[in-house]
């Protein structure tokens, strides 16, 4: 694992430009191994941090069941949206159970493109590394989505698949701001997540108590459109939103 433990989040911006070829860091390097955020430990330990339940959830059919049969469709929606050129760099913010990352890595391989995957939980990074062992174009990073250590504009495309509904508002806003920061001008960000379904969609009445019980922050995405959490620098013209399954899921693309 490239756990980026030695990375200094501010290194790339807090340098002294004294005209020499090698700018001097103003701060002494401090190892920054990200801590498991409270919301993950308290609300989602059973889904992502426990080795036994990880093994249970790490199955395509389980993820597909949780998404009411929409896993392939939502994965396809992401792959079809990517505008790859030879050697593109793509960032996946947070691991995803099932075959999402395998399909993504294979898709990227066709253009000699690379996939970088970030996750804050070492157990998830280890699991993804095993799952993706056959793919030579993937690198793993032990980082927090709210404070990534990549320099600005590092990626052509950034994907955030079902992470934002799990984060409290402050972390969600920081994750989105970080996705914007690490994606290059002219690049794109693809968010896929829950959304408040139409009143005529019976799923609304099935999912509301389930999410309110197990995934309390998800209701934010029912109440507000996702762009409400975007930084001010992202304008309405840059955003394209699509909805499916009666509005229960959304794909929001930001063109930078």
Ligand X SMILES: C[S@@+](CC[C@H](N)C(=O)[O-])C[C@H]1O[C@@H](n2cnc3c(N)ncnc32)[C@H](O)[C@@H]1O
Interface residues toward ligand X, by CB under 6 A: 37, 40, 48, 63, 94-97, 118-121, 124, 144-146, 161-163, 166, 171
Across the beta sheet with 89-93, what order do the strands follow?
Answer: 138-142, 114-119, 89-93, 155-161, 183-194, 249-255, 239-244
Residue number, 26 or 46, with CB nearest to ligand X: 46
Q: Is 112 left (phi over 0), alpha (psi -120 to 50) or beta?
A: left
In this structure, how many other beta carbons lie within 10 angstroms of the beta carbon of residue 228? 11
- Residue 82 or 218: the one with the smaller Cβ distance to ligand X is 218
Q: Nearest distance from residue 230's CB to ligand X, in Å?
A: 18
User: Considering beta carbons, is residue 18 or 130 the nearer one to ligand X?
Assistant: 130
**Closest to 95 in 3D by CA, of 147, 43, 154, 159:** 159
Least gap, CB of 107 to ligand X (angstroms):
18
Query: In terms of CB distance, is 32 or 124 closer to ligand X?
Result: 124
Nearest distance, CB of residue 38 and ligand X, angstroms: 10
Whichever of 120 and 132 has its CB closer to ligand X, that residue is: 120
Residue closer to ligand X by CB (options 89, 172) is 172
Nearer to ligand X, 33 or 235 (CB): 33
CB of residue 92 to ligand X, shortest distance in Å: 9
CB of 96 vs ligand X, minimal distance in Å: 4
> What is the closest distance, in whole angstroms, from the C-beta atom of residue 130 to ligand X in the complex?
14
- Give the integer Cα–Cα distance in Å for 183 and 154: 6
Please state the closest distance from residue 51 (CB atom) to ligand X, in A.
13
Q: Which residues contact 64 (CB under 8 A, 6 or more apart)?
A: 70, 71, 72, 98
């Amino acid at each position: 694992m490239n756990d980026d433990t030695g990375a200094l989040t501010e290194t790339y911006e807090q340098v002294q430009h004294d005209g020499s070829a090698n700018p001097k860091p103003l701060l002494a390097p401090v190892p920054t191994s990200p801590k498991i955020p409270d919301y993950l430990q308290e609300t989602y330990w059973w889904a992502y941090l426990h080795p036994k339940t990880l093994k249970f959830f790490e199955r395509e059919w389980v993820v597909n069941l949780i998404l009411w049969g929409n896993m392939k469709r939502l994965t396809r929606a992401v792959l079809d949206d990517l505008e790859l050129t030879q050697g593109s760099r793509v960032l996946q913010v947070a691991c995803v159970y099932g075959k999402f990352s395998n399909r993504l890595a294979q898709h990227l391989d066709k253009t000699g493109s690379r996939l970088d995957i970030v996750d804050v939980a070492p157990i998830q990074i280890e699991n993804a590394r095993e799952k993706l062992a056959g793919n030579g174009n993937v690198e793993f990073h032990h980082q927090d989505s709210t404070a990534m250590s990549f320099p600005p504009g590092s990626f052509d495309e950034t994907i955030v698949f079902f992470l934002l509904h799990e984060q409290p508002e402050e972390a969600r806003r920081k994750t989105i701001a970080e996705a914007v920061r690490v994606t290059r001008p002219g690049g794109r960000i693809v968010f896929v997540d829950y959304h408040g379904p139409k009143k005529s969609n019976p799923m609304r009445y099935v999912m509301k108590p389930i999410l309110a019980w197990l995934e309390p922050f998800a209701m934010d995405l029912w109440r507000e459109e996702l762009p409400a959490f975007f930084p001010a620098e992202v304008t309405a013209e840059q955003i394209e939103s699509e909805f499916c399954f009666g509005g229960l899921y959304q794909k929001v693309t930001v063109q930078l």
